[in-house]
């Protein structure tokens, strides 16, 4: 009787395990589930370092004004070039570090990094990001710096929400937070660097940590968000 009961229990478990396997296969085919929480932590750390360097540059510029009582057009042009170069460097390093940790996770899972789901994910992120980049460049053309930080947060948030259909659903909530933060920043012009550091730095580290504990701390399994 014992062996018969054990056999019946195993037999009843098989359909549930089969359904679980089918669900995992469907998630793999429709979502890129290999995003690493460490990618968010690394990107957030890069953003905070960049924000600190940018703050030091601005502090030095305004400190020079306080000591001389005059703004120099040459100094301002140099500051713009320095900040633009800093933003490019932070973006490249953050993307490279995010790619590296995601690549490590896909390798550990035995899944391809570049397939139709990752291509769809990338495309759905690039459309809002490209529109946002064009909008910001247009503002910079007319020396309108006040709304650069909130615009970057809003368009980045839209990109995350748009791409969340093809990856872990946690990304959607990060996108909502970025959008809300950008909208609030529009009401507090002059504090863009602090909002920028909060959105791209603190929120990335916070959500990256949550994703790592949720999906990567335990033995790795091909699990996705819902």
HSE of 187, CA atoms in CB hemisphere, 13 A: 4
Beta strands in the chain (DSSP E): none
pLDDT tens digits, 135-148: 998 988 888 888 98
pTM of the model as a whole: 0.76
pLDDT tens digits, 4-44: 444 455 545 555 454 444 444 444 444 666 788 899 999 99
How many angstroms separate the CA atoms of 48 and 201, rounded? 5
């Amino acid at each position: 009787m014992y062996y018969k009961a054990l056999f019946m229990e195993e037999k009843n478990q098989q359909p549930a395990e089969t359904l679980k396997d089918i669900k995992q296969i469907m998630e793999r085919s429709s979502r890129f589930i290999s995003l690493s929480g460490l990618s968010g932590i690394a990107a957030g750390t890069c953003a905070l370092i960049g924000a600190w360097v940018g703050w030091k540059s601005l502090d030095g510029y305004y400190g020079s004004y306080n000591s001389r009582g005059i703004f120099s057009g040459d100094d301002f042009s140099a500051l713009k070039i320095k900040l633009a170069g800093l933003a490019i460097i932070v973006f490249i390093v953050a993307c490279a570090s995010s790619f590296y940790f995601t690549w490590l996770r896909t390798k550990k899972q035995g899944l391809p990094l570049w397939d139709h789901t990752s291509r769809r994910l990338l495309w759905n992120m690039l459309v809002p990001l490209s529109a946002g980049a064009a909008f910001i460049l247009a503002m910079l053309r007319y020396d309108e710096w006040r709304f650069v930080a909130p615009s970057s947060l809003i368009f980045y948030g839209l990109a995350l929400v748009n791409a969340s259909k093809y990856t872990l659903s946690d990304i959607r909530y990060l996108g909502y937070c970025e959008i809300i933060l950008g909208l609030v920043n529009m009401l507090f012009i002059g504090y863009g660097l602090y909002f920028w550091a909060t959105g791209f730095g603190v929120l990335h580290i916070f959500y990256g940590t949550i994703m790592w504990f949720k999906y990567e701390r335990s033995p790795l399994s091909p699990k996705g968000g819902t």
